[in-house]
Amino acid sequence: MTRADLGSHFRDKRAIVTGAGSGIGASLSRALAAAGAEVVCADLDGAAAARVADPIGARAVTLDVTDADAVRELVDEVDPDLMFNNAGITFGAETEDLTLDQWNAIIDVNIRGVVHGVAAAYPRMVARRGTGVSGGQIVNTASMGGLMAAGLITSYVMTKHAVVGLSLALRSEAAAKGVGVTVVCPSAVDTPILDKGHVGRFHGRDYYLKGQGVRHPLDPDVFAAQVLDAVADDRAMLVTPRTARVAWRLGRFFPGFVQRSSIRFVAKQRRLQDRRARRTARAA
């Protein structure tokens, strides 16, 4: 879709993007603003949101997506045409090393944070359609981890599967009510999340890139452009890049093979962790 086509779809639309202070959220905010949308950049780190918002003429707000009242207040104020539930966190670890606090934290942000956005925005969009105005669209950021299961990121996989399920189920309801729902499922995107949430010897770039034979993660600006195309086309799901789509389809047709491959992948990751630990010990 050309920039002109995107402009005709997004121009003057009100959009809220959560997790807009960095990574995918920042790229989505810039792409939406370039397409003519009125963007609200929301992030727990208000200063980071402002650094994204100021150069593109957007508005920055400090928002904790785990606070349902705060999410609802922002949605009621903005009355968005587009609600991007994008904020997320990750933990990489052997599952037995995760604390209950870490489980609760990722559930609160990755699942409840999306639920809070949906619960606040979706009823307004349904009601708006009753006035003869286009209802709107909800866009939820999931992951390839929401379509396929991988060890050592079990808590993340759990939450992203929930986001995919919520999105596809809601879409089947929302279609008759004039509201679009799109879920986006990228593989590794070059964002700060690759270097966060490490527990024990887990190393995100080893896991998401080296371990999977990925030389270059997906550029977040390229991904944002793909998301806007998918939203403009009202697609149910975006799975990207092509290698991710191939892996996903393989998993659907040959689940046993993919499960065995996943077990081997985890073993390979542990070997990478062992080598990294030995190099660190020698350097100390």
d(Cα 280, Cα 227) in Å, to the nearest integer? Answer: 39
Asked if residues 77 and 50 have their Cβ atoms less than 8 Å apart, the reply is: no
Out of 122, 156, 207, 208, pick the active-site residue.
Answer: 156
156 is known as an active-site residue: yes
CA distances from 21 to 59, 176, 185, 210 (A): 12, 34, 20, 27
Find the helix or strand (DSSP H, E) in which 158 lies.
Answer: helix 154-174
Give Dmax (Cα) for the chain. 68
In 121-231, which ranges are E strands?
Answer: 136-141, 179-186
Q: Could you tell me if 229 and 32 are in contact, meaning their C-beta atoms sit under 8 angstroms apart?
A: no
Pairing outcome for strands 59-62 and 82-85: unpaired
Contact criterion met (CB below 8 Å) for 276 and 204: no
Q: Using an 8 Å Cβ cutoff, are 87 and 43 in contact?
A: yes
Kindly tell me the burial class for residue 283, based on how many C-beta atoms sit within 10 Å of its own C-beta (0-12, 13-18, 19 or more).
exposed
Which residues are designated catalytic? 156
